């Protein structure tokens, strides 16, 4: 595989972070020698928000550390959760004695490692709570919601949880709001081509020239259905129908929408996706409070996109519209 | 061979590290079929750390410390589900069994039983869930059956049982890890974690045979 990396692939994550932190050192500082960093002006005297996950999804997760967002991030190896010590060190570095919320995608590896980190925190009397994101509604049926994966919907939930932390709410209340956000975000994605891992000789999966796979995970987990390539409107319609059903969207509902690129798909095509999605939402009378068409949650150079819909009520809207800023994501700063 | 000294056991585990590192691409391929392909890099990375620690810290005071050192290095470096699971496998055996100066079939069986318990406690997987437990549990049962035999014999039985366990994972539907999203589509494929367990026991067996 052609990748712009160096000979020793085991250093790729470290080098990626070093570059990123050198470029954006104005905002961020590394935690010791760890593959972890915090926002320089992280929250003081409040519940702090720690996120993390495997690398290879940039700008998630680390790009969502910043003002009004997460305080710190623990970065695992490519597509592998960070280890317990790394998460523990990350948590300690922003501990304010008010409790820490661990917010991350629902994967076995992340669950095991964050839980172990939570136990390490407990030994040092650092209170933690956990909210797992499971927005990908193609990954398991509704009855097994807690088996679902976390994908681009993370963006909305980090945003909301960050604003709740900013309010100075107690940990329990921050958890309630983060869970409420989580329960109102659904996503679905499809791939037109595979990504590949640094150091692996082959792409993670094979897709024919004229094939697409619906419901592919952001680590290349095979999806639910492989079919022939179709025009944008047909693809979007299929995804929208599923999301609409999941969220029971009806007339006058208000939503935030994210059309997210998986890595290799250009903004040109993502905008066409939103063009189609916007039409469908309008037809149904669903009000779009905010829309975003960008590449936030990737799977290395995977081609394809995901759609995330966030159903808002007045409370969630308040947190969603609060100011936030990172070099990769900003909301509410300029009206 | 009937039993091993601490030094021999250290050499054996260094061979295990090398074997996993050498199988990096193969493990990645097995994992790519139904997972995300990171198992090879993850295991090889963890074993690189474990190897470096074994070399730097030898000689060890007892058998337990060899396994504990490996487990701690793996948990502390790998991440992913395999970091915690394989790390717990090495740590569990080391922490829950009294200090041992020699490694014989009985000690190994006791250690690996503790390992299995630790892995199941952490990961919650049972036999038939298409995980590394499907290779580890039969290997542990084989070790327990051979607890009075020469170490070479018990390791031979464990390696065979692990291999059979890997074969059986082809008939199971994945219940854990990223493969679980595939459901029935995981049929016919072996579990990458189980393959790693097979490589570990196979290498231990080969070391015991050569000695």
Chain A residue with the nearest C-alpha to that of B83: A83
Domain limits of chain A?
A: 9-182, 185-317
Q: What's the pLDDT at B36?
A: 74
Of A80, A147, A221, the CB nearest to B78: A80
The mean pLDDT value for A39-64 works out to 98
Predicted confidence (pLDDT) per residue in B53-80, tens digit: 999 999 999 999 999 999 999 998 888 8
CA dihedral A271, A276, A281, A283 (to 10 degrees): 150
Per CB-CB distance under 8 Å, the chain A contacts of B125 are: none
Residues B27-59: tens digit of each pLDDT? 999 998 887 778 998 999 999 999 999 999 999
Would the CB atoms of B85 and A77 count as touching at under 8 Å?
no
Chain-chain contact of A219 with B38 (C-beta, under 8 angstroms): yes
pLDDT at A128 over 60: yes
ipTM associated with this complex: 0.77
pLDDT at A178 over 80: yes
Nearest chain A residue (CA) to B28: A200
Q: Which residues does chain A have within 8 Å of residue B35's beta carbon, measured at their own beta carbons?
A: 219, 221
Closest residue of chain B to A116, computed from CA coordinates: B84
pLDDT number for residue A334: 57
Asked whether the whole model's pTM tops 0.95, one would answer: no
Could you give the strand order of the β-sheet that contains A48-55, starting from the edge strand earlier in sequence?
A28-30, A36-39, A72-78, A48-55, A100-105, A128-133
Taking the CA of residue A320 and the nearest CA in chain B, the distance in Å comes to 31
The average confidence (pLDDT) of chain B is 94
pLDDT at residue B181, as a whole number? 76
Q: Hey, which residues does A101 pair with through a beta bridge?
A: A49, A129
From the list B76, B79, B122, the residue facing A80 with the nearest CB is: B79
| Residues of A designated catalytic | 57, 219
pLDDT band at A335 (very low <50, low <70, confident <90, very high): low
- Asked if the C-beta of A117 comes within 8 angstroms of chain B's C-beta atoms, the answer is no
Residue B185 — pLDDT band, cuts 50, 70, 90? confident
Under CATH, what is the fold of the domain B3-210? Answer: 1.25.40
Tell me the sheet residues that pair with A30.
Answer: A37
Q: Which residue of B has its CA nearest to A54?
A: B80
A142-175 tens-digit pLDDT? 999 999 999 999 999 999 999 999 999 999 999 9
Distance CA A183, CA B88 (A): 33
For residues B11-40, average pLDDT: 92
Class at the top of the CATH hierarchy for domain A185-317: alpha beta
Residue percentage of chain A with pLDDT more than 90: 90
Domain boundaries in chain B?
3-210
**Chain-chain contact of B84 with A109 (C-beta, under 8 angstroms):** yes
Structure tokens at A110: 């992340």
Nearest CB partner across the interface for A85, out of B34, B76, B177: B76
What percent of chain B is modeled with pLDDT above 70? 100
**Tens-place pLDDT, residues A63-112:** 999 999 999 999 999 999 999 999 999 999 999 999 999 999 999 999 99
Q: Which CATH architecture has domain A9-182?
A: 3-Layer(aba) Sandwich (3.40)
Q: Is A66 left (phi over 0), alpha (psi -120 to 50) or beta?
A: left
Lowest mean pLDDT among A265-269, B147-151, B172-176: B172-176
Q: Do A112 and B81 touch (CB under 8 A)?
A: yes
Residues A80, A110: Cα–Cα separation, whole Å: 8
State the pLDDT confidence band at A222, using cuts at 50, 70 and 90.
Answer: confident
Q: Does B48 touch chain A (CB under 8 A)?
A: yes
**Would an 8 Å CB–CB cutoff place A81 in contact with chain B?**
yes
pLDDT for A101: 98
Q: Produce one character per residue of A217-255: b if its CB has 16 or more CB atoms within 10 Å, e if not.
A: bbbbbbbbeeeeeeebeebbbebbebbbebbebeeebbb
Can you tell me the mean pLDDT for A134-139? Answer: 96
User: Which of A9, A83, A108 lies nearest to residue B75, judging by beta carbons?
Assistant: A83
CB-based contact A200 B37, cutoff 8 Å: yes
């Amino acid at each position: 595989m052609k990748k712009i990396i160096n000979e020793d692939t085991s250093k790729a994550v470290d080098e990626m972070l070093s570059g990123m932190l050198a470029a954006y050192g104005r905002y961020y500082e590394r935690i010791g020698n760890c593959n972890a960093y915090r926002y320089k002006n992280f929250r003081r005297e409040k519940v702090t928000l720690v996120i993390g996950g495997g690398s290879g999804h940039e700008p998630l997760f680390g790009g969502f550390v910043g003002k009004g967002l997460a305080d710190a991030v623990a970065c695992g190896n490519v597509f592998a959760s960070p280890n317990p010590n790394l998460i523990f060190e990350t948590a300690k570095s922003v501990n304010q004695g008010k409790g820490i919320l661990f917010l991350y995608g629902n994967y076995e590896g992340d669950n095991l490692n964050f839980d172990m980190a939570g136990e390490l925190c407990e030994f040092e009397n650092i209170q933690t709570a956990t909210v797992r994101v499971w927005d990908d509604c193609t990954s398991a049926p509704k009855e097994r919601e807690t088996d679902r994966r976390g994908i681009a919907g993370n963006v909305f939930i980090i945003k909301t949880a960050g604003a709740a932390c900013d309010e100075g709410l107690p940990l329990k209340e921050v958890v309630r709001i983060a869970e409420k956000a989580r329960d109102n975000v659904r996503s679905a994605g499809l791939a037109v081509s595979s990504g590949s891992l640094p150091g692996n000789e082959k792409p993670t999966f094979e897709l024919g020239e004229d094939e697409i796979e619906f419901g592919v995970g952001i680590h290349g987990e095979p999806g639910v259905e492989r079919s022939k390539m179709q025009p944008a409107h047909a693809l979007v319609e299929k995804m929208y129908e599923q999301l609409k059903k999941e969220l029971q969207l009806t007339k006058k509902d208000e939503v935030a929408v994210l059309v997210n690129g998986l890595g290799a798909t250009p903004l040109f095509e993502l905008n066409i996706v939103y063009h189609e999605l916007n039409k469908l939402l309008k037809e149904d009378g669903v009000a779009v409070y905010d829309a975003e068409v960008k590449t936030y949650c990737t799977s290395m150079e995977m081609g394809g996109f995901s759609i995330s819909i966030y159903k808002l009520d007045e409370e969630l809207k308040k947190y969603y519209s609060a100011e936030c800023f990172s070099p990769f994501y900003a909301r509410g700063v300029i009206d | 061979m009937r039993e091993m000294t601490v030094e021999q056991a250290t050499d054996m585990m260094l061979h295990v590290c090398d074997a996993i590192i050498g199988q990096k691409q193969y493990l990645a391929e097995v994992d790519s079929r139904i997972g995300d392909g990171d198992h090879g890099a993850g295991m090889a990375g963890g074993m690189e750390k474990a190897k470096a620690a074994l070399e730097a810290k030898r000689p060890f005071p007892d058998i337990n410390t060899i396994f504990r050192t490996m487990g701690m290095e793996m948990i502390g470096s790998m991440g992913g589900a395999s970091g915690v699971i394989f790390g717990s496998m090495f740590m569990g055996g080391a922490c829950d069994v009294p200090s041992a100066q020699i490694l014989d079939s009985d000690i190994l069986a006791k250690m690996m039983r503790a390992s299995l318990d630790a892995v199941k406690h952490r990961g919650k997987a049972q036999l038939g869930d298409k995980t590394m437990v499907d290779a580890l549990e039969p290997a542990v049962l084989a070790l327990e059956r051979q607890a009075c035999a020469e170490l070479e014999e018990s390791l031979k039985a464990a390696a065979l049982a692990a291999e059979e366990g890997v074969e059986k994972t082809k008939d199971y539907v994945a219940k854990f890890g990223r493969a679980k999203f595939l459901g029935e589509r995981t049929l016919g494929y072996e579990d990458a974690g189980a393959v790693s367990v097979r490589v570990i026991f196979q290498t231990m067996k080969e070391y015991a045979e050569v000695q």
